[in-house]
Amino acid sequence: MRPVWDDLLRAVIDPQSMLALDESRWDLVLRQAYAAGLLGRLGHLAQQQGIEQQLPRPVWHAMEAMLTLVAQQQRAVRWELLHLQRVLAGLPGPVLLLKGAAYAAEGLPPAGGRLFSDIDILLPRDQLDAAEAALMLGGWISEAREAYDQRYYRQWMHELPPMTQVSRGTTLDVHHRLLPLTARIQTDPAPVLQASVPVAGFPGFARPQSLDMVLHSACHLFHEGEWGHGLRDLVDLDALLRAELRSRGSSLWPELLDRAARLKLGRPLFYALRYCARLLHTPVPPEILSRCPDRAGALHSAWMDALLLRGFGSAHPGSQRVGTSVANFLLYVRSHYLRMPPHLLLPHLLTKAWMRWSEKRQAKEQAALPGAEGG
């Protein structure tokens, strides 16, 4: 199928272009936007431009419905943060809000129209035990029930196993690093913690300074294994970059490169800038791309283009190209490869496969027991 998502990309880049779409084109764009997690964003942009009443009625209704859901989620995130703030008050800190939670708490540029799934926080590793104890007292329980899963997270990952609040059902990821301990890129969280800035309205929380938010978002996106929300994350990056460009002017670019070099996140930044410029027309000067630390070579870039341009379009059949499913699989493999060296990854995948198989077998045996259905 032909990749027909130009209308969606153009709507994000230039919201006024939405006025030129007729109903039959909207029929596809609305579905692509919904699948990519960008419908609320389009609605937010239309409101910002004051053009929402000029859109076809069903189009604005779909956006308004999504914005209603977004407003409720952002309300819920802020409410949850008030609880968390109290639960974690005894820690020396700093406790940093990452990504969506930081955007919502402070109403940062990517927050407009954006849905959230869970709350991510980052804190110094030596406060991890205290934080976990406080969270358990506050009603947060660990989702990983198997000893192996607990060990996997604690020994190799950059976060505790996800925790769920028993009465409110919200999910929390507690990070102590930006990337897994076993990842190919080793980035030190200390400078991010040191340079953090307070979050307005939530005295118990800080967030990474703006450049670090860009780098963390890039780092997260380009270690991703599931690309359904890749484009949404790229739109976040674009919004962050444009806001910083407005406040810092063109000094943003050299500062960003320096910071990336300091945190050893040049490669994810390179991809972020490359695809932001390419898909969303973010005004990245070309010489900045060529000066990016640890940037990919021409051959490597061409290969990544083949994968990532398919990955970004993978959310909806209407924007998928030939080879999307192969690209998705390779991106999935790539994400694991980046997170763990093969000598750890292979035994891990085998163990997980064995666990799933034996779980299934146990479930079958349970079901076969007489009277099991009533229980």
Partner 1 sequence: MSRLNQLDPTLVRRRLASDGLLIRTGPFVYRLRSRLPQVAEGLLAMYPLADSPEQGLADFHLRIDSVTGLRRWWRPQVNAWLDGYTPFLPLPADQAYALLEWAMNFCVAGHAHHYLMLHAACLERQGRCVILPGHPGAGKSTLTAALMLSGWRLLSDEITLVDRDTGALHALARPVSLKNASIDVIRGFAPQACLGPLARDTHKGSVAHLQPSALSVDGMHLTGRPAFVVFPRWRKDAETSWTPKGQAEAFELLARNGFNYSMLGRLGFELVGGLIDSSRCWSFEYSRLEEAIPAFERLAQEGAP
If one asks whether residue 66 binds partner 1 (CB under 8 A), the answer comes out as yes
Least Cβ distance, residue 273 to partner 1 (angstroms): 32
Stretch that binds partner 1, among 58-66, 119-127, 131-139, 258-266 (CB under 8 A): 58-66
94 vs 318, beta carbon nearer partner 1 = 318
Q: Is 131 in the site for partner 1 (CB under 8 A)?
A: no
Nearer to partner 1, 59 or 192 (CB): 59
Binding to partner 1 (CB under 8 A) within 75-104 occurs at 75
For residues 206 and 119, give the distance between their C-alpha atoms in angstroms, rounded to a whole number: 14
| CA-derived radius of gyration, the chain | 22
The residues in 5-24 that bind partner 1, with binding defined as CB under 8 A, are 23-24
Considering the rule CB under 8 A, would residue 167 count as an interface residue with partner 1? no
User: Which residue, 230 or 266, is less far from partner 1 as judged by CB?
Assistant: 230
Tell me how far, at minimum, the Cβ of 78 lies from partner 1, in Å.
12
Binding part of the chain for partner 1, among 63-71, 170-178, 280-288, 341-349 by CB under 8 A, reads 63-71
Compute the Cα dihedral for 342, 348, 351, 352 and give only its sign.
Answer: negative
Could you tell me the CA-to-CA distances from 276 to 36, 55, 178, 298 in Å, in that order?
16, 27, 21, 18
Q: By CB under 8 A, tell whether 71 contacts partner 1.
A: yes
CA dist 245 and 256 (Å) reads 11
300-319 residues in contact with partner 1 (CB under 8 A) are: 316-317
The reply on whether position 325 binds partner 1 by CB under 8 A is: no
Is 193 one of the binding residues for partner 1 (CB under 8 A)? no
Stretch that binds partner 1, among 5-13, 67-75, 83-91, 325-333 (CB under 8 A): 67-75
CA dist., res. 344 & res. 359, Å (int): 22
* Residue 61 lies near partner 1 (rule: CB under 8 A): yes
Instruction: Indicate the residue among 89 and 322 with the shorter CB distance to partner 1.
Output: 322
> Which residues, other chains included, contact 294 with Cβ-Cβ below 8 Å and sequence gap of 6+?
264, 266, 267, 270
Choose which of 30, 96, 288, 304 interacts with partner 1 (CB under 8 A): 30
* Token pair of 130 as six digits: 């205290």
Quick one: which segment of 60-68, 116-124, 130-138, 199-207 binds partner 1 (CB under 8 A)?
60-68
Closest approach of partner 1 to the CB of residue 72, in Å: 4
- Tokens representing residue 26 in the block: 């909207």
List Cβ<8 Å contacts ≥24 apart for 106-109.
106/199, 106/200, 106/201, 106/207, 108/213, 108/240, 108/243, 109/239, 109/240, 109/242, 109/243
Q: Which is nearer to partner 1, 66 or 134 (CB)?
A: 66
Q: Which of 62, 134, 273, 340 binds partner 1 (CB under 8 A)?
A: 62
Q: Which residue's CB is nearer to partner 1, number 45 or number 163?
A: 45
Which stretches of the chain bind partner 1, using CB under 8 A?
23-24, 26-27, 30-31, 34-35, 56, 58-59, 61-62, 64-66, 68-69, 71-72, 75, 316-317
